């Protein structure tokens, strides 16, 4: 069965600093990878996804993630964070079980951006 490991449960940073949220997944063929963001008392919003093609994917709000097959990683980065980026971030991978795909999530990383 697939598994996802988010290595840091909490990441505090100062505003305008760079940040990297780490994600590793168990090896499998043909994975799809996702990053979701959850703001307090909200559901999950898709931040970005890797399905195929270029290993570097970007979101509209400055985040990017790179799929590294050899290291089975999909780390999320942002060169300069804002206070509004404070949220919990979840890495997820799809796995084929029972003939359909389901999402397996990591435990989440709480990003706190301080002024």
User: Applying CB under 8 A, which of residues 10, 42, 68, 84 lies at the interface with another protein?
Assistant: 42
Count of residues interacting with another protein (CB under 8 A): 25
Does an H or E element contain 72, and which? none
Q: Does residue 58 belong to the site contacting another protein (CB under 8 A)?
A: no
3-class SS string, 79-93: CCCCHHHCEEEEEEE
DSSP label at residue 32: -
- Closer by beta carbon to another protein, 46 or else 56: 46
Which residue stretch of 14-22, 28-36, 56-64, 79-87 sits at the interface with another protein (rule: CB under 8 A)? 28-36
Q: What character string, x for contact with another protein (CB under 8 A) and - otherwise, covers 63-102?
A: ---------------------------x---x--xxxxxx
Give just the sign of the alpha carbon dihedral 22, 26, 31, 34. negative
Q: How many CB atoms lie within 10 A of CB 73?
A: 18
Q: Does residue 55 belong to the site contacting another protein (CB under 8 A)?
A: no
């Amino acid at each position: 069965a697939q598994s996802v490991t988010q290595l840091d449960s909490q990441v505090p940073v100062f505003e305008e600093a760079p940040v990297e949220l780490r994600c590793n997944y168990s090896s499998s063929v043909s994975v799809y990878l996702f990053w979701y963001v959850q703001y307090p008392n909200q559901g999950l919003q898709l931040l970005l996804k890797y399905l195929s093609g270029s290993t570097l994917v970007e979101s509209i709000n400055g985040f990017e993630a790179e799929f590294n097959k050899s290291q089975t990683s999909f780390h999320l980065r942002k060169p300069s964070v804002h206070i509004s980026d404070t949220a919990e971030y979840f890495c997820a991978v799809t796995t084929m079980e029972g003939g359909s795909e389901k999402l397996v999530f990591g435990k989440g990383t709480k990003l706190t951006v301080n002024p």
